[in-house]
Structure 1
């Protein structure tokens, strides 16, 4: 639906049937049950049963109040859908989960999910931030690091690194592999130390037995002297 204001006739009193756009007299003709298409970006939706007046000179259409309200409702819904689609597209482009995006924007762990499903309306700050990151994704490195384990209760949090960067799935796999290697090395070192301690304990026991061993066979055992007057 086309809607234009006639700046030249602003404030002027129009005659009956005069077009507000071009000012032509007796030019407005009523129309009913027409179908108009509302377009917002790549989205479009048809509205049936539109009514109003159209100028037969310039072709400008002026919908009645009911049709205008319906047009506005559909247009607002398409704007919301387009905004949600853009947020989801940008989030996937940045390789963020909904939880991570929610932490980034301060909307809570399920806030971004509500934005993408249209259950909540994002603030202009969120829309502007993701519009900026869509055009300049490298700026994501300038933002505080995001815990990639967010939303996973079993996962251990990752310590912040020196560079402020968002950990991706690839980085997470690398960190987990490094953690497994570290655990394996620790287990091997513990086993090696335990084995060495056991060997040392055996050597100490053997030495103690040798030091306190009984006399050799065949060697007479000295007798304890008997006190005088006793046998």
Structure 2
């Protein structure tokens, strides 16, 4: 799991660097940096949607996923529970930053395929590439939201660790089609985070997280029926 360890470690390093940079910034600079971060996250969400939607075999699935996932997340009240936990460690808008960080770091092809490739073939290329991207992103996020962004490294380690450990059992099940559908839903969630940071519309992004499970369940049921 050397690739995952490096990935998580660089997020911590980036968070420390970003928090140090933030301390020397005027409030006006922090505000413009948050706007820049919001624009960047929004652009990433749009880019990912444009990249993956043309390859979707089920164009309506992401709509159903967001609807069902939102209902489940709202029922579980995930957004408020998440904020309650985060507020014990920090005040301010860290919860918004952490939810954005978790989405950016975990919901992507590199963060899913990477640990599987590492476990099955010993290839760390995807994870090392992802680690460099996350280093830069964590610096910007921490400069905006503070050192608490480092907590997302724990989530990433558990996320990638799950795929690494379960690679033998699920590698054949994680098809390109499934990755495409999950990436589309993930892109929509990243876009919602960007719009929230910009203050255009405050989305309960954490309540939409269960939407990521719907494509997996749909394809699993479809495969069973097909058998």
TM over 0.5: no
Query: Which has the larger Rg?
Result: 1
Higher RCO, 1 vs 2 (CA within 8 Å, ≥6 residues apart): 2
Tell me which protein shows more helix as a share of its residues.
Answer: 2
Query: TM-score of the superposition, structure 1-length normalised?
Result: 0.25
Tell me which protein shows more strand as a share of its residues.
Answer: 1
Query: TM-score of the superposition, structure 2-length normalised?
Result: 0.26
